[in-house]
């Protein structure tokens, strides 16, 4: 039965055909079928370059962040040489999850029976294992994944055969060069869970269609009609739109506006670029700040979200920066709070056996582009 479902969903995915104006939306069961999530784990999250955060989260030796990447406990740790490494967060003794949350450590000690690994992943101590025959500690180091950093974002890939991150991102760096993403500094990181599918969470940040309905009194007023989505090479989609003043502050806190990032000129200094690096990172590059979201599936109807807010270094040095940054955080949190009930209600609607595929408006080109990318990845025959 489950297999029949999957075949049916793949047939529906055949309707998600580029170009975006002729595509149908993703089949509702892609957002609600638990067996389908298993398929996503394998074909999306264990196959792609997945974003795990901004590089500033690993500033000192031993800094770590643990994240479950679609059911794969993973931990990123800064080693003694200053490189960040990604490991399967599973002890080599009997599988215990080694680290939780974030923090700093000198070595990684398993809380279950004390096996200890250095920051480079080698097993350096295994208490009371003397009677174990031919214990080859060299072969009991942590399982390591590929990790690369680009434009200040850290990515992990579990597939040794996937193309390089450089190739994955295509012309991303050229197109985003004016925003000097590498040089931004993150000042606040928050993690939380939301009762919706991970794709819905990212989709809502990449479309202008909902603004007057969901944000009528907060942010909709300063967004102008956006440009078409850019034609790009690489595993991402992006769309620029002019705004009246910064899009990163509420109307009544514009007195806190920070200047445009040094070097940003012309139209780029008058709007916001919304970008989605597939599968799970989206950010809004405003001329004065950037906010980003990483989303990871917990269950088919629940996701874990990491929210990060960044500013150019020059702004951090301005008078009253903290108070001004607080106003930026308020804008982002206000819009998020407005989106959440809609995302949860959308999840309920999508879970209905009578939910059907729909069509995209011209204000959702990035969502449509993602749908086409996703349909292609998920239609691979088993």
Name the residues that contact ligand FES, by CB under 6 A. 91, 93-96, 110, 112-115
Q: Report the alpha-carbon distance of residue 160 to residue 153 in Å, rounded.
A: 20
Shortest distance, position 240 Cβ to Fe ion, whole Å: 17
Phi, psi of 223 (to 5 degrees): -90, 125
Length of the chain in residues, anyone? 382
112 binds, among Fe ion, ligand FES, none (CB under 5 to 8 A by kind): ligand FES
Q: Which helix (DSSP H) or strand (DSSP E) does residue 313 occupy?
A: helix 313-316
Task: List alpha helices for 68-150, DSSP H.
Answer: none
Burial (0-12, 13-18, 19+ Cβ within 10 Å), 3: exposed
Shortest distance, position 345 Cβ to Fe ion, whole Å: 14
116 vs 379 by CB, closer to ligand FES: 116
235 vs 339 by CB, closer to Fe ion: 339
63 vs 339 by CB, closer to Fe ion: 339
Shortest distance, position 204 Cβ to Fe ion, whole Å: 5
188 binds, among ligand FES, Fe ion, none (CB under 5 to 8 A by kind): none
Shortest distance, position 207 Cβ to Fe ion, whole Å: 8
Q: Is 207 in the site for Fe ion (CB under 5 A)?
A: no
113 binds, among ligand FES, Fe ion, none (CB under 5 to 8 A by kind): ligand FES
Shortest distance, position 66 Cβ to ligand FES, whole Å: 15
Shortest distance, position 136 Cβ to ligand FES, whole Å: 16
- Edge-to-edge strands, sheet with 236-242: 184-194, 302-312, 290-299, 281-286, 271-277, 236-242
110 binds, among Fe ion, ligand FES, none (CB under 5 to 8 A by kind): ligand FES
Helix (H, G, I), strand (E, B) or coil at 90: strand
Ranges within 325-354 binding Fe ion (CB under 5 A): 339
99 vs 277 by CB, closer to ligand FES: 99
Q: Report the alpha-carbon distance of residue 146 to residue 158 in Å, rounded.
A: 6
Strands 123-125 and 116-117: antiparallel
The answer to whether the CB of 268 falls within 8 A of the CB of 179 is: yes
339 binds, among ligand FES, Fe ion, none (CB under 5 to 8 A by kind): Fe ion
Phi, psi of 246 (to 5 degrees): -70, 140
17 vs 329 by CB, closer to Fe ion: 329
Instruction: Write out the residues near Fe ion by the rule CB under 5 A.
Output: 339
């Amino acid at each position: 039965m489950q297999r029949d479902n999957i075949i049916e969903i793949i047939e529906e995915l055949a309707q998600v055909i580029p170009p975006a104006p002729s595509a149908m939306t993703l089949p509702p069961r892609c957002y609600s079928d638990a067996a389908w999530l298993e398929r996503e784990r394998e074909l999306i999250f264990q196959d792609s370059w997945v974003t795990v955060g901004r590089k500033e989260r690993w500033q000192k030796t031993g800094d770590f962040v643990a994240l479950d990447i679609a059911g794969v406990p993973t931990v990123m740790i800064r080693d003694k040489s200053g490189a960040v490494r990604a490991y399967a967060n599973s002890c080599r003794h009997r599988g215990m999850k080694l680290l939780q949350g974030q923090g700093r450590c000198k070595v990684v000690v398993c809380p279950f029976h004390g096996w200890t690994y250095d920051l480079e992943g080698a097993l350096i101590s295994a208490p009371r294992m003397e009677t174990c025959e031919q214990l080859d500690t060299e072969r009991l180091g942590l399982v390591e994944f590929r990790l690369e950093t680009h434009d200040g974002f850290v990515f992990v890939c579990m597939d040794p055969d996937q193309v390089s991150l450089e190739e994955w991102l295509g012309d991303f760096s050229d197109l985003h060069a004016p925003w000097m993403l590498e040089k931004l500094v993150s000042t606040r990181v928050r993690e939380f869970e939301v009762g919706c599918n991970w794709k819905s969470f990212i989709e809502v940040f990449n479309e202008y269609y909902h603004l007057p309905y969901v944000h009528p009194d907060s942010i909709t007023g300063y967004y102008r009609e956006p440009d078409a989505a850019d034609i790009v090479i690489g595993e991402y989609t992006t769309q620029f739109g002019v705004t009246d003043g910064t899009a990163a502050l509420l109307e009544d806190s514009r007195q806190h506006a920070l200047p445009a990032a040094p070097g940003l000129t012309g139209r780029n200094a008058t709007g916001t670029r919304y970008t989605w690096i597939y599968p799970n990172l989206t950010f809004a590059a405003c001329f004065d700040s950037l906010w980003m979201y990483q989303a990871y599936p917990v269950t088919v109807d629940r996701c874990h979200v990491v929210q990060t807010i960044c500013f150019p270094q020059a702004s951090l040095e301005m008078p009253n920066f903290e108070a001004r940054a607080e106003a930026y955080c308020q804008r982002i949190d206000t819009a998020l709070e407005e989106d959440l009930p809609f995302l949860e209600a959308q999840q309920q609607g999508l879970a209905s056996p009578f939910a059907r595929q729909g069509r995209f408006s011209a204000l959702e080109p990035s969502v449509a582009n993602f749908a086409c990318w996703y349909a292609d990845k998920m239609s691979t025959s088993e």
